[in-house]
Amino acid sequence: MDKIKEIANEINESNQWPNFSAGDTLTVTYKIKEGEKERLQSFQGTVIQKKGSGVTETFTIRKMSGGTGVERIFPVYSPMLESIVVNKEGSVRRAKLFYLRERTGKSARIKEKKHFSKK
């Protein structure tokens, strides 16, 4: 069992992504393999959940595309992930934002977290 934990720790240390949580707006760039070719594609949306721990950790991002909701699940430690950029930090009171699935327009917006500067 210790060998498994050692390998998991090595994998965890290889990719250091920024800290983010549910409600944040991210841009995830990932590799897509099509036959022999490989290209990069970006997916920008709101994090509606983070799930799992260690090597099995995943996060789900939701965006609206042409009036249709699109969700994508990304493993945090996938070798196909190229970059994760936090665009906005959202202020939410829940860890899982599944209620956004029923909402559209203004009601689906998330308030931005306020940062106070110390003087």
Residue 14 is predicted with a pLDDT of 61
Residue-wise pLDDT tens digits, 15-59: 688 999 999 999 999 999 999 999 999 999 999 999 998 788 999
Q: Which residues of 42-72 are buried (b: 16+ CB within 10 A; e: fewer)?
A: eeebbbbbbeeeebeeebbbbeeeeeeeeee
Domain ranges of the chain: 2-103
Residue 56 is predicted with a pLDDT of 87
pLDDT at residue 118 is higher than 90: no
Q: Is the dihedral of CA 50, 51, 57, 62 positive or negative?
A: negative
**Mean pLDDT across 78-105:** 92
Q: Which residues of 74-103 are buried (b: 16+ CB within 10 A; e: fewer)?
A: bebbeeebeebeeeebbebeeeebeebeee
pLDDT at residue 81 is higher than 80: yes
Using DSSP, state whether 74 is helix, strand or coil. strand
Percent pLDDT > 70 in the chain is 90
pLDDT at residue 9 is higher than 90: no
- What is the distance between the alpha carbons of residues 69 and 95, in angstroms, rounded to a whole number? 20
Residue 12 is predicted with a pLDDT of 63
Higher pLDDT, residue 6 or 30 = 30
pLDDT at residue 84 is higher than 90: yes
The CATH fold assigned to 2-103 is: SH3 type barrels. (2.30.30)
Higher pLDDT, residue 6 or 64 = 64
Residue owning tokens 């939410």: 92
Count of CB atoms within 10 A of residue 25's CB?
19
